[in-house]
Amino acid sequence: MSIPFFDPARAADTQWPSIRKRVDRVLETCRFVNGPLVRELEEAVQERTGARHAVAVASGSDALVILLKAAGVGAGDNVVVPCFSFFASASAVVHAGATPRFADVDPVTYNLDPACLEAAVDERTAAVMPVHLFRQLADMGPILETAARHGVRVIEDSAEAVGMTWRGRHAGLLGLGGVLSFFPSKTLGAAGDAGMILTGSDGLAARCRLLRNHGQDDAEPYVWHVPGFNSRVDDLQAAVLLGRLETLDEAIERRAALAARYDRRLAALAGLVAVPRTRPDPEATTVDYVYVIEAERRDRLVEHLDARGIGTEVYYPLPLHLQPCFAGLGHRAGDFPVAERASARTVALPLYPELTEEEVDQVCTQIEAFYRSRP
């Protein structure tokens, strides 16, 4: 038995025909970087999300840094960030010149807890960065209300949230701006790194376009307006993403069906395994990017599955406030108990459109076997 956590080869086999024609076009025109297919991708993402502006950049991490800097966040500022998230949520704040101010998360969704946000905002807070994690949006109603009351900007780390909406608006468009990551394992994944900034602000989008290209306007070469970054997108990645956009709805539906199968199979292990839970909100849509469970004796379960060829991923084994690089902020174990509990108990199981129902059943059978042998 071998069930990888993520298997890009399967996706390549099924999606290559729709991608090949665009790859051939790139090779024929030799427009490799920030060229016409990148413009097509930006337009396609605008249409898909309803964004007024979509600015392609080299990765989701770069998108966060550029968006923060374009929004004027910098030295002397802090940005409230949930401490249970991928590292880039906090490192982007540092690269923008500001300081992350950590807050705890909701125990059901793992997203920023609005009550903890309220307690974290102070006179130096320039922005709050809710992270839309795993399968659902943060609780944006109270987050937006708190931010407005304190006069701080909302910049969404919506890297995982393609397809998620609230009140008919796509993730990343609920505050000043947001980002998408196209890392290969994402719901919409490239064949390498790529990302996108989403915003409704003309001025913010213009600043992001300058910053992604060394501070140079695309229409005015060799005139640098600000010190920027080399964060352009390769047209080959745009070719891949345009092809995969054609089947995105089907991929989202398939992920939902597989997640529901996991739910049904694992229901008998209640008390040992907690399946993903959704915050009730009829105005929000969910997308199953990863299938994250909480498990008793999580690390032993991971060893059991690994020994049987089943891949898993621990999200996240050490919360951000306890990472060595943030030791100078003075946090200790126990400061954010919900995030620390999640870090000790959560693990993601294989979930991608090419996974079969039989493989989901095999994963669940092995989880059941682990708990039968170690009650």
Domain of 369, CATH number, reads: 3.90.1150.10
- Domain with 292, as residue range(s), is 248-373
Tell me: the pLDDT tens digits for 57-109? 999 999 999 999 999 999 999 999 999 999 999 999 999 999 999 999 999 99
199 with 69, same domain? yes
Judge whether residue 18 has pLDDT over 90. Answer: no
- 3 domain-assigned: no
* Category of 127 on φ-ψ map: left (φ > 0), alpha (ψ -120 to 50) or beta: beta
Do residues 283 and 135 both lie within one domain?
no
How much is the pLDDT for 217? 87
Domains contained in the chain, number: 2
Residues 259 and 135 reside in one and the same domain: no
129 & 272 share domain: no
The predicted pLDDT at position 9 comes to: 84
Q: Is the peptide bond before 316 cis (omega within 30 degrees of 0)?
A: yes
Where does the pLDDT of residue 375 fall: very low under 50, low under 70, confident under 90, or very high at 90 and above? low
**Same domain for 212 and 272?**
no
Same domain, 93 and 180: yes
Residue 198 to residues 49, 176, 208, 327, 367, Cα–Cα distance (Å): 9, 9, 10, 32, 40
| Interval 150-201: pLDDT, tens | 999 999 999 999 999 999 999 999 999 999 999 999 999 999 999 999 999 9
pLDDT-derived band at 221, boundaries 50, 70, 90:
confident
> Which strands form 99-103's sheet, in the order they lie side by side?
53-57, 195-199, 177-181, 153-156, 125-128, 78-82, 99-103
At residue 17, does pLDDT exceed 80? no
Q: Please list, in sequence order, all residues whose beta carbon lies within 8 angstroms of the beta carbon of residue 218, skipping any fewer than 6 positions away.
A: 34, 209
